[in-house]
Amino acid sequence: MAAERAIEVKVGLLVLVGVALLAALVLVMGGIQLGQRFAMAVDFNNPGGLQSGAPVKIAGVRVGSVDRMEFRGAAPDPRTGRAALVRVHVMIDARYRPEIHRDAAFYVTTQGVLGEQFLAIDPGSAAQPLIDTAQPQEGIDPPRIDLFLARAYSLLDDTVTALRSNRRQIGTMVDDLSGILHETHGLLARNGSRIDTLIENVDRTVRDADALVNGARERYVDGPQIRRIVNRAESVLATVERDLPPLAHDARALTNRLNHIAEGVTDTQLEDLRATLHDVRTLVGRANSIAGDVQAVSTHVRSGQGTVGALLMDDEIYDDLQEMVRDLKHNPWKFFWRE
């Protein structure tokens, strides 16, 4: 009886071990979810090899998993306005909710070279508000290695076809290129010393140019003269900046007054002003004519012509008048009596 009991216990233990292993397998396969989680959706046009159950990671730390993948087609989502072919629904542990901000980036990447693909989240800047989990986010599609290889293969195929169909031209081109290289080699060999000299000259020129640039910089950029000019210009600018506002204010006031005066002039006054200006113009014309006459008389007088001219300009008359005045001073009676 005891032996039978022992057998029962041993068999029962083994069966329990098997059942426990099966339960563990089912739990592991289904993903053990012990904490609170929140749902998010990320749109991709092509999420690559991402599959349901794939991990979701932030900075390499697993924070959740892909719940399911939904093929939506090309119709745009009325909520986002985007047309994404695939919407990936993910479940993320609730304790990571405060770490995902509005500028977070969602992309599919691979663990290792050929490892499993997972959804990585760049949580974004802490200065940004938290992400709206009710709104589907736009994911960054993984690079299409297959597409790249297909296009590279097409390009390679075109290249090979072009090479095969133009084999003669390519041969000629290679021959020409070889000839050019051969000639260049001979040219270099024949003019080695001259090329050395040329290089030395170029080197010297470069050094001179460098010294010139340095001198110019010291003189015209870093020199005291430039500094003074700049200081003066700054002073002038400061003065202008200081005095310009009052000047502008005065000019504006003067303009306002002129406008005010102009606005106060009536049409009749304007006609009078025009008539006055016309009279002034006439007077000025006449004055100019009189000045011309005066100038002609003056010229006539200066040339000693006429009575006044002879009186003013003839020395003999002057001498006679002086003699006569002197004689009259000595002989005043000649005013009244003639010899």
Partner 1 sequence: MAPPVAPATPPDDALDGDAERPRPRGLAADTGQLLIEGVRAFRGLFDVALRTVYWSLKGRREKGVVLEQAFEIGNKSVFFLTVTQGFIGMILVFQSGLQARRVVPDLTMLGATFLELLVRDLAATLASMMLATRVGAGIAAEIGSMVVTEQVDALRMCGVDPVDWLVVPRFLASVVMTGVLIFYAGAIAYFAGGATAWAVFDVQPQTYLNARLLDIGDVSIGLAKCVAYGAAIPIVSGWCGLSARGGSEGVGIATTQAVVFSSLAVIILNLVISGVGFVLFPV
- Tell me which residues touch partner 1 (CB under 8 A): 4, 7-8, 10-11, 14-15, 17-19, 21-22, 25-26, 28-29, 53-55, 111-116
Exposed (0-12), middle (13-18) or buried (19+): which is 330, by Cβ within 10 Å?
A: exposed
Tokens of 2: 């005891």
Neighbours of 40 (CB within 10 A): 26
Task: Evaluate whether 118 touches 56 at the Cβ level (below 8 Å).
Answer: yes
Query: Helix and strand tally (H, E) in the chain?
Result: 8, 7
Which one, 104 or 120, has the nearer CB to partner 1?
A: 120
Which one, 17 or 181, has the nearer CB to partner 1?
A: 17
Which one, 60 or 81, has the nearer CB to partner 1?
A: 60
- Minimum Å gap between C-beta 6 and partner 1 is 9
Which one, 55 or 64, has the nearer CB to partner 1?
A: 55
Which one, 35 or 112, has the nearer CB to partner 1?
A: 112
- Minimum Å gap between C-beta 58 and partner 1 is 17
- Minimum Å gap between C-beta 171 and partner 1 is 40
What crossing angle do the helices spanning 192-216 and 167-190 adopt, rounded to 10°?
80
Task: Evaluate whether 133 touches 164 at the Cβ level (below 8 Å).
Answer: no
- Minimum Å gap between C-beta 142 and partner 1 is 17
Which one, 29 or 126, has the nearer CB to partner 1?
A: 29
Task: Evaluate whether 113 touches 72 at the Cβ level (below 8 Å).
Answer: no
- Minimum Å gap between C-beta 10 and partner 1 is 5
- Minimum Å gap between C-beta 59 and partner 1 is 16
Whole-angstrom Cα Rg for the chain: 55
- Minimum Å gap between C-beta 21 and partner 1 is 4
- C-alpha dihedral (171, 172, 178, 179), degrees to nearest 10: 160
Q: How far is CA 44 from CA 82, 85, 143, 200, in A?
A: 10, 6, 12, 61
Which one, 84 or 121, has the nearer CB to partner 1?
A: 121
Nearest Cα residue to 70 out of 84, 81, 80:
84
- Minimum Å gap between C-beta 116 and partner 1 is 6
- Minimum Å gap between C-beta 66 and partner 1 is 10
**Residue 124: φ, ψ to 5°:** 90, -175
Neighbours of 65 (CB within 10 A): 20
Which one, 116 or 271, has the nearer CB to partner 1?
A: 116
Q: For residues 286 and 293, give the distance between their C-alpha atoms in angstroms, rounded to a whole number.
A: 11
Which one, 143 or 179, has the nearer CB to partner 1?
A: 143
Dump strand ranges (E) for 187-331. Answer: none
